[in-house]
Amino acid sequence: MESREKMLSYVKYEHELETEYREKLAEAKRKSDVRDVFAEFIIKLLRKINPDIPASLQEQIRFDEKEFQFEFVNELKKVVDELSEGSDLRAIINRMYEAASHRYKKIEHDENLDYFRIGNNAKK
């Protein structure tokens, strides 16, 4: 029988943050709010795992302005890569991203509807 390395699980921390995270996403009115909430809670999660992680690393989450896509850069990338090794951290981050992505797309859709409504009302 093969010897498997034990996988670290951070789901406990995910669950501790989940309710507040979803509430903050639901309160987000602009796409930039969604980006801010996502970045804030990624850092909160990482700081639950390792309290020594500085909150200032939030600035090292880069977003593509056209799409809701992100990347970690510099020191934050190293931290996430290290913590992800042998753990479920990437899966948790992906779930957080999916929730934020749905909210982002909903706001974008609503903005597009409002734009067309304004355009149609102006013609009358």
pLDDT of 99 higher than 50: yes
Average per-residue pLDDT for the chain: 90
**C-alpha distances out from residue 98 to 32, 38, 92, Å:** 16, 10, 10
Q: Summarize the confidence of residues 49-69 as an average pLDDT.
A: 92
Helices within the chain (DSSP H only): 11-27, 31-49, 74-84, 89-123
Give pTM, 2 decimals.
0.86
Distance between CA atoms of 14 and 25, rounded to whole angstroms?
A: 15
Which tokens in the block code for residue 7? 């996988």
Task: Give the CA angle between residues 57, 51, 60 to the nearest 5°.
Answer: 10
Q: Which of 45-49, 69-73, 108-112 has the lowest mean pLDDT?
A: 108-112
pLDDT of 95 higher than 80: yes
Please report the pLDDT score of residue 110 as a whole number: 87
